[in-house]
Amino acid sequence: MKYSFKKKVIYSLLIVVLLVGSTLTATIGIDGKGAGSAKDIPLGLDLAGGVSITYEIKEDNPTQQDIDDTIKKLEERVEGKSTESQVYPAGSNRITVEIPGVTDANAILEELGTPGTLEFMDTENYELWAAKEKYEVILTGNDVEAAVAYTDTTSSTSSSFGVQLTFTSAGAKKFEKATEENYGKPIYIIYDGEVISAPVVQAVISEGIASVTDMDSWESASELATYIRIGAIPVTLEEVSSNIVGAQLGKDAIKTSLYAAALGLVVLCLFMIVVYRLPGVVATFALWMYTALVIVAVAAYDLTLTLPGIAGIILGIGMAVDANVVIYSRIREEIGAGRNVEDSINAGYHKATSAIVDGNITTLIAAAVLYMFGTGPIKGFATTLAVGIVISMFTALVITRIIMKLFYNFGFKDAKWYGKTVHKRQLNVLAIRKWCFIGSVAVILAGVIGMIAFNATGNRMLNFGLEFVGGTSTTFTFDKEYTQAEIENDIIPVIKEATGVSTVQQQKVQDSTRVTFKTSELLQDKREAMEKAVTKKFPIKKDTLVESDTIGGSVSASMKQSAIISVVIATICMLLYIWFRFRDIKFAAAAVIALLHDVLIVLAFYALARVPAGTTFIACMLTIVGYSINATIIIFDRIRESLAAADEKANITELVNNAVTATFTRSINTNITTFIMLLSLFIFGVTSVREFALPLMVGVIVGAYSSVCITSPLWYVLGGKKKGVIAAEKRRQKEKEIKRNSDGSVV
Q: What is the mean pLDDT of residues 620-643?
A: 79
pLDDT of residue 377: 66
Share of the chain above pLDDT 70, in %: 88
pLDDT exceeds 90 at position 486: no
Most confident option among 44-48, 123-127, 727-731, 732-736: 123-127
pLDDT of residue 222: 86
State the Cα–Cα distance between residues 413 and 615, nearest whole angstrom.
Answer: 51
Phi, psi angles (nearest 5°) of residue 96: -110, 135
Q: Which helix (H) or strand (E) holds 240?
A: strand 237-245
Q: What is the mean pLDDT of residues 397-408?
A: 91
- Is 570 within 8 Å of 365 (Cβ atoms)? yes
State the Cα–Cα distance between residues 396 and 642, nearest whole angstrom.
Answer: 24
Q: What is the mean pLDDT of residues 234-247?
A: 75
Share of the chain above pLDDT 90, in %: 17
Q: How far is CA 58 from CA 76, 113, 555, 586, 635, in A?
A: 21, 15, 14, 48, 52
Phi, psi angles (nearest 5°) of residue 193: 85, 5
Give the tens place of pLDDT for each residue, 496-537. 989 888 888 787 766 678 888 888 888 778 888 898 899 888
Q: What is the mean pLDDT of residues 389-404?
A: 90
Sign of CA dihedral 93, 99, 100, 102: negative
Instruction: For the chain, report the end-to-end CA distance as a whole number of angstroms.
Output: 24
* Other CB atoms within 10 Å distance of the CB of residue 394: 16
Sign of CA dihedral 346, 347, 353, 356: negative
pLDDT exceeds 60 at position 740: no
pLDDT exceeds 80 at position 107: no
pLDDT of residue 746: 42
pLDDT of residue 438: 94
- Count how many residues are written for the chain: 747
Per-domain residue ranges for the chain? 5-41+247-417, 118-232, 429-448+583-732, 471-551
pLDDT of residue 249: 61
- Is 356 within 8 Å of 396 (Cβ atoms)? yes
- Of 39-53, 278-292, 619-633, 719-733, the least confident: 719-733
pLDDT of residue 501: 86
State the Cα–Cα distance between residues 690 and 609, nearest whole angstrom.
Answer: 14
The amino acid sitting at 315 is L
- Of 16-20, 91-95, 121-125, 532-536, the least confident: 91-95
State the Cα–Cα distance between residues 55 and 63, nearest whole angstrom.
Answer: 16
The stretches of 337-421 forming alpha helices (DSSP H) are: 341-373, 377-394, 400-409
pLDDT of residue 181: 92
pLDDT exceeds 80 at position 119: yes
pLDDT of residue 166: 92
Across the chain, what does the average pLDDT equal?
Answer: 82
In the beta sheet, which residues pair with residue 558? none
Q: What is the mean pLDDT of residues 613-633?
A: 76
Following DSSP, what letter does each residue of 439-461 receive, concatenated?
A: HHHHHHHHHHHHHHHHHHTTS-S
Give 38-41's long-range contacts (Cβ < 8 A, gap of 24+).
38/295, 38/299, 40/299, 41/295, 41/298, 41/299, 41/303, 41/305
Q: How far is CA 571 from CA 354, 437, 468, 528, in A?
A: 21, 21, 22, 44
**Structure-derived torsion over alpha carbons of residues 248, 506, 107, 534, reported in degrees to the nearest 10:** -110
Read off the pLDDT band of 745 (50, 70, 90): very low
Residue 300's Cβ-count burial label (10 Å; 0-12, 13-18, 19+) is middle
pLDDT of residue 54: 83
State the Cα–Cα distance between residues 70 and 90, nearest whole angstrom.
Answer: 13
CA proximity to 364, closest of 395, 380, 388: 388
- Is 521 within 8 Å of 551 (Cβ atoms)? yes
State the Cα–Cα distance between residues 15 and 22, nearest whole angstrom.
Answer: 11
Do the domains at 118-232 and 471-551 have one common CATH topology?
A: no
- Which residues are within 8 A (CB) of 324 and not within 5 positions of it... i.e. 6 or more apart? 272, 279, 282, 283, 286, 396, 400
For 118-232, CATH number? 3.30.1360.200
CA angle at 598 for the pair 592 and 603, rounded to the nearest 5°: 125
Q: What is the mean pLDDT of residues 662-675?
A: 83
CA proximity to 186, closest of 194, 195, 725: 195
State the Cα–Cα distance between residues 730 and 583, nearest whole angstrom.
Answer: 12
Residue 274's Cβ-count burial label (10 Å; 0-12, 13-18, 19+) is exposed
Strand boundaries in 75-187, DSSP class E: 86-89, 94-100, 118-121, 139-140, 144-151, 161-167
- Per-residue burial over 725-742, b if 16 or more Cβ lie within 10 Å, else e, is bbeebbebeeeeeeeeee
What is the third-level CATH fold of 429-448+583-732? Multidrug efflux transporter AcrB transmembrane fold (1.20.1640)
- Which residues are within 8 A (CB) of 462 and not within 5 positions of it... i.e. 6 or more apart? 451, 468, 603, 606, 607, 613
CA proximity to 95, closest of 79, 111, 72: 72
CA proximity to 625, closest of 597, 606, 604, 605: 597
Which tops the pLDDT comparison, 120 or 61?
120
- Is 508 within 8 Å of 515 (Cβ atoms)? yes
- Of 132-136, 463-467, 639-643, the least confident: 463-467
Most confident option among 142-151, 166-175, 549-558, 625-634: 166-175
Give residue 35's Cα distance to chain centre: 24
For 471-551, CATH number? 3.30.70.3400
For 5-41+247-417, CATH number? 1.20.1640.10
